[in-house]
Every structure is written in C-alpha cells, then in structure tokens.
Structure 1
Amino acid sequence: MPANLKENLDSLQGLARERTVKTQNIEFDLETIIKRIDRGVIKLDPDYQRRHRWSDELSSRLIESLLLNIPIPVIYISQDVDVDEETEGDTSRFTIIDGQQRLTAIYRFMKNELELTGLETLDAINGLRFKELPPFLLRRLDERTVKCLRIDSTLDPQVKYDIFERLNTGSVKLEAQELRNATSRGPFNKAIKSMASHPQFREMLQIPVENPEGSSKVRKMEDLELVLRFFSLKGGQYKTLSKGLKSFLTSKMNEFNSLSPNEIDRMDSEFRSCMNFIYHALGKNAFAKYSIQDGEIKKKMSSFNAAVFDAISVGTFDYFTIHQLEQRNLDDTGKFTGYHVIFSDPDFFSAVSGATADSAKVKYRINKVIEFLAQ
C-alpha cells in the first residue's frame, strides 16, 4: 500500500462512509403508484428530469410488456423526506431519479389518457384505452408490480443528482441541455424555462404555440439551449469562444446560476425585448435559412436554423441599444430590409451549414449580421 494512501486512510474511510448510498429494493403495484402520484407523495417530474419524450407508440409497447408480464427495468426513486417527518404544501416524499418516461406512460394509460397504438403481439387492442380493456387484461394489470430501488437522499440531497448523472452521462438517452438541466441546477436554469415559453420566440422556432409539447425542440429541451446560447454569446462573449461550444455553454450555465435574482430578472427582460424586436422586424421566419441566387431568394432551405438564430439574435442585441430594442422604431427595424443578401456570402452560408459549433464560424456569422446592420 502506498505511504500516502496509508496516511490518508482515515479520511478516505470517512469519505467512503459518508458518500455510500443507502438503498432498499421495493415493489409497488400499479394502482399504488398511481395513487401516490395523484396525492403528490411521488413527484413524477422533478426539475432535473427531462421533459416527457416518449411517443404514444413507445408508451403503448411498455403497456403491452406489462400485460404480457415481460420484465421492465428497475425504477430509481429518491426518498427526500423521512417517513416520520411531517410535510406541508406540495412537498413530495419521493422523486423519480430514473424511470420518469416509463412511469409517465403508465400514469397516462391508467388515467385513460393514452390510446394504445402500434402493438404487434396484442394488435387486437390497438385503439383501446385503459377503461376499454377486456376484464382479463385489467386483472393482469391489477396483479403487475414495478420493481423500484429506493435511495435515501434525506441526509444528502446531492446523492440523487449524482446518481442521475451517473445513470445518464455517456449514454445516448440525454441531449446536452437535458444533462445540464440535471447537473447545472440553479435560478438561471429555472428562469430560462419561463423565457423559452415566450410566444414570439416559440413562433420563430416553429414551435406550435397551442401545442408546444408536440415539438421535438421542446421535448429535447433544444428551446432552452437556444436561450442559453443567446446569453452565452451576446455582449461580445462570442469573441471569447475558443473551446467546444458544448462545454462553453455548460460553463456559462454554471456562471449564470450564481447571478442574483435582480440580474436574472434583467436578463429575462433583455431576452423578451430582443425577441419582440426581431419578430417585429422579420416575422415568424426570422431564423430561416435561404439559398440566394443573383441577389434574390432562390429557396427557403429551412424555416429554422440554430446557427442563423445565433447570428440574428446575438447580432441584433449587440448592435442595437436596449432602448432601441424596447422602442422598436421603424428606422431601427428597417435596417433588416434586404438582409437575405448575407446568405449570398459563401463564408456566411458555410458558417450556418456545417460544423456550426466551430468557434471561427460562430464568430463569423455573428459579425456578418452586425456588419450588415451597420452599413
């Protein structure tokens, strides 16, 4: 044994003892789980979890597995409040660390909200909801239990986040912003969820305002990442981008989470003023990508492009004053007249077309918009 390890053995044992996770294997029948979710005892969608992304077909296949008694993966549940402790308001005793998508599918079906679709083995019940199932299948669901691993987080709340990150880091299950949502917690992370619901912002992202949850951008939290990109790059910060954009955004997320409530409120106001200005100037296709020939639009290649979003949103904020953005005078919004010509620049077109996270391309496309506005 190395000498330095012997010297630090006591502290190592103490740390290992302190961070050892206390777990208990339990099983819940489906009815008990549904009742506990309804009563708020189990919180199905904690802040660090992703949004529900399963399609009705994937959810239906899970229900089919339950009906056929096919084992499903263990659900990880965090016990956040001791059983003997009294709680008030909407405080939940348990939250879901891993298994939110599965439990949401089960909850939706047993609440009669999910219509089965895409089943192959039990194809005869496609189109049915929970209350329409034949009695023998209802009895099968009554007898099904879900295996859970309950983790005691009452002593150290950080435990559940550590486990969540370890279960998901390195897998393909989470998008970058979904992982940041889990691991970079704080007031700014909460605030961007409100900002991303701004109606004009959603419309320019081609997210249906009447059904935002139907958009993959919302389900994968891409809308939240775009808000983060705006704040990370604006004010000339894009000029400091040297490392990868993904790690740059993560470091900015942690930095912004340490800001005061007043500073975050100011950022919220700036974002909304900027999005309102852009919408007023360019409409719902503000962040579209175009192919230009002889100075004219040949083709709209996409209604939304994230790299174009960087260029237009950051370029706008950095060129205009906050007063101009709030006032939205015709002289100012009119500066975008004919802006499509920037797509005829091969370097700009390249900067919004491939390897768009490259730092040189990020800087070029934002500078190009600022140059256009300044001419």
Structure 2
Amino acid sequence: MPSTLKDNLDNLQNLARERTVKTQNIEFDLETIIKRIEKGIIKLDPDYQRRHRWSDELSSRLIESLLLNIPVPVIYISQDVDVDEEADDDVARFTIIDGQQRLTAIYRFMKGELELAGLETLKAVNGLRYKQLPPFLLRRLDERTVKCLRIDSTLDPQVKYDIFERLNTGSVKLEAQELRNATTRGPFNDALKRMASDTNFRKMLQIPLDDPDSSAKVKKMEDLELVLRFFALRNGQYKDLSKGLKNFLTEKMDNFNHLSTDEIAEMEKEFKEHMSFLEHALGSTSFAKYSVQNGKIIKRMSSFNAAVFDAVSVGAFDYFTRDQIKSKDPAAISRFQHHHLLFEDLDFFSAVSGATADTSKVKYRIEKMIEHLAQ
C-alpha cells in the first residue's frame, strides 16, 4: 500500500475514533425525570434549544399516548458533567438535545400547569389536571418510562451541538433562527435576546408586552431574526446581499459573534436608540403595510410586515445621523411625512409582498425608503 494512501487511512481512522460519539441507552420513569428537572440536574431549556411552542392540545395528545402506553420518540440527553466530578448546585449535569417540547409538556402536566384538551380517545379526561385523574390512570403514569439516549459530551462539548444540528437540519419544525440559535452560538447571539425584549421594538412588532411568550414571533424566534436582519443589512451591507438572505444572515451572525464585548454593547445601545426613534416618529404601526391609491390609504393590510421592517428600520438608520436618531430630531421625523405613498409604487409594493427574501427586492425596498427620506 502506498505510504500516502496509508497515511490518509491512518488519519481517517484517527479522526473517526476521535469523533465517535459515546452513547448509552437508559430509561427514566416520569417521576424521576421530573424530580431531576426540578433539582436542576437536567436543564430543560439550554440556550441552543428553541422556545416552547407546543399548544395545549398537542401537549395533551402526548400525555394521552403515555396513558395508553403508546411508544413515544427517544429523548436525546447530553451528559455535560462527569458523574464523579463535583459541580455547583446551579450547574446542570445533563441538558436536552432533542425532546425539549415533549419533556416540557410532561413537566407542565405533572406539575399541574396543563389542563388536558382536545383528546379524542380518552375524551372523559378532557379538562382535568394531573391530580384530578382517576387513580388507575395516575398509576399508569407513575409506572410509565421514557427511553433516552445519553450522549457523553464531557470530553467535547461541541458534540451536543453537532448532534442537535444533524437531528434538526432539514426539519420543517425548526425555523432558521432557531437553528442559528443552536449552531451559531456566541456573545452576539446572547445580545440578540436582550435586544429583542426592548419595549419599543415589541410594540412595533405587535408583541403583547404583558405576555410576550404567547406571541408566535417570540415562540419561533422571529423577533431575534429581525434584530439580526437590522444589523446585517444596515450601513449599506444590504448591497452585499447576493446569495440569499438566509445564508447571508447566518454568515453575519457568525461574524458578529466574534466582535468584542464593547462593540456588541455599542450595537445594543444603537438598537435601543433607533427603536425609540422609530416608535416616536411612526408609532406602534411603524412597520405596517398599506394599500394606497391616488395618494390615499385605502386600508392597512397588516400592522406588521417583516419586509417593511427592513425598509423602514434600515433605510432610516442609513439616512439619518446618530445624533438625529438619538435626539429624535423633529426635522428628521418630518421626513417620514407621507411615507405611505411608497406603497403606491407598484415595485415597492411588490418588494414587500411575496418572495420578500429575494435579493433584488430587499435592495429595492431599502433604497426606495432612503430616496423618500431624501426628498
């Protein structure tokens, strides 16, 4: 065998050995797994996971499956701390790689937070909570176990993220930002979550301030993606958009994660200032979409539109100075007057309607907004 081929095979063998994942099949009864979640031994919502999105009806169907002894998918658990190592009380030894929605549903029900709804087989228990179940059904849950695949991430923490990505890539259940949250980790990803909670931003996104977690935008991390879009496209960066918005945003997020703490802190400050400026100038419907004819608004088609968000937020940021935005300069605000006339432009209307991620449409809607402000 030629030495080059032998060396390549040796390297391949070493790489395969290094990256082979160590796993162990285990089963937990429900009571044990709930206690471990309560004690913080198992972390139910690690940073790379999506937010809980299951409806009460979907959660109830899982509980019904458990009551009927119907098999449920395996739950992937990452072992992050070796069993023999000492760890602080607030450090989880295990995190959930895949199965967060299922375990959250089980936890909510067994803690009395979920009322069964929409069941078709066990209709009689609709409307009941855990402690209200008949004794024989409670015994079934007590004896029910869930199968888990425990993955050793103690030697290489990257393992759990790689597995998460492989389990979910191509899945229609994950939105693009949910996958970025899992696979493009770093300080900017953390900052996105802080910025997305800004009061003015939430007002303009039509996210209820008293219950933001009920918003579909929050559940699917669309709010985080919009913050990312703003930073990825501003300062003329939208002109560099050439290979699709999705990949463009992922690359930008990776780049932003390598910025310094001070740079990210300054970006957070700019974002809050800009959202305050826009809310002051245009109100809670800053990113609304309109139907306009003969210079008059026929109707407001939506109170929020993501493509309009691009046009207004990026266009305004790129046109006005930092001082104008920070001071809420009245002269700057007056530039927004009659901005609804943009929607009468058929090309602009098209750029905020259908296939809005098209690169030419992204560029067009931002540049038209800048043109309008410059008039």
Residue 208 of structure 2: aligned partner: 208
Residue 139 of structure 2: aligned partner: 139
Structure 2 counterpart of 1:198, which letter? Answer: D
Partners of 1:289 and 1:123 in 2: CA distance: 43
Query: CA deviation digits over 1:275-324, x for unaligned, max 9?
Result: 11000000111101000011000011111110000000001110111111
Residue 130 of structure 2: aligned partner: 130
Query: CA deviation digits over 1:108-167, x for unaligned, max 9?
Result: 000100010000000111111111111111111000001000000000001000100010
Residue 245 of structure 1: aligned partner: 245
Relative to structure 1, the CA distance from residue 341 to residue 70 in structure 2 (aligned partners, 3 Å threshold; closer, same or farther) is same
Aligned-CA RMSD value: 1.1
Residue 228 of structure 1 pairs with residue 214 of structure 2: no
Give the superposition deviation at 1:6. Answer: 2.5
Partners of 2:296 and 2:140 in 1: CA distance: 64
Structure 1 counterpart of 2:338, which letter? Answer: G
SS at match of 2:26: strand
Structure 2 counterpart of 1:15, which letter? Answer: L
Query: How do residues 110-129 of structure 1 correspond to structure 2 at under 5 angstroms?
Result: 110-129=110-129
SS at match of 1:8: helix
SS at match of 2:117: coil
Structure 1 counterpart of 2:367, which letter? Answer: N
Give the superposition deviation at 1:31. Answer: 0.6
Query: How do residues 68-107 of structure 1 correspond to structure 2 at under 5 angstroms?
Result: 68-107=68-107
Residue 320 of structure 1: aligned partner: 320
Partners of 1:126 and 1:214 in 2: CA distance: 22
Query: CA deviation digits over 1:151-194, x for unaligned, max 9?
Result: 00000001000100010001112110011011000000011001
Partners of 1:298 and 1:354 in 2: CA distance: 20
Residue 370 of structure 2: aligned partner: 370
Give the superposition deviation at 1:273. Answer: 0.7
SS at match of 1:21: coil
Q: What are the ranges of 5 or more consecutive residues in structure 1 without an aligned counterpart? A: none
Structure 1 counterpart of 2:354, which letter? Answer: G
SS at match of 1:106: helix
Give the superposition deviation at 1:231. Answer: 0.2
Partners of 1:24 and 1:286 in 2: CA distance: 52
Residue 185 of structure 2: aligned partner: 185
Structure 2 counterpart of 1:226, which letter? Answer: L
Relative to structure 1, the CA distance from residue 95 to residue 295 in structure 2 (aligned partners, 3 Å threshold; closer, same or farther) is same
SS at match of 1:368: helix
Query: CA deviation digits over 1:328-369, x for unaligned, max 9?
Result: 122221211111011111111111012111111111100111
Residue 307 of structure 1 pairs with residue 307 of structure 2: yes
TM-score (ref. length: structure 2): 0.98
Structure 1 counterpart of 2:111, which letter? Answer: K
Give the superposition deviation at 1:201. Answer: 0.6
Query: CA deviation digits over 1:31-89, x for unaligned, max 9?
Result: 11111001000000000000000000000000000000001000000000000101114
SS at match of 1:300: strand
Residue identity over aligned pairs, in percent, reads: 76
Partners of 1:58 and 1:172 in 2: CA distance: 17
SS at match of 2:335: helix
SS at match of 1:336: coil
Partners of 1:2 and 1:77 in 2: CA distance: 43
Partners of 1:5 and 1:175 in 2: CA distance: 42
Higher deviation after alignment, 331-340 or 179-188? 331-340
Residue 291 of structure 1 pairs with residue 291 of structure 2: yes
Relative to structure 1, the CA distance from residue 338 to residue 2 in structure 2 (aligned partners, 3 Å threshold; closer, same or farther) is farther
Residue 168 of structure 1: aligned partner: 168
Residue 31 of structure 2: aligned partner: 31
Partners of 2:221 and 2:125 in 1: CA distance: 33
Partners of 1:59 and 1:193 in 2: CA distance: 26
| Runs of 4+ residues deviating >2 angstroms | 1-7
Residue 54 of structure 1: aligned partner: 54
Structure 1 counterpart of 2:373, which letter? Answer: L
Partners of 2:286 and 2:72 in 1: CA distance: 45
Partners of 2:4 and 2:146 in 1: CA distance: 46
Task: Kindly tell me the number of residue pairs found equivalent between the two proteins.
Answer: 375
Query: CA deviation digits over 1:182-237, x for unaligned, max 9?
Result: 10000000110010011111111111111111111111111100000000000000
TM-score (ref. length: structure 1): 0.98
Residue 42 of structure 2: aligned partner: 42
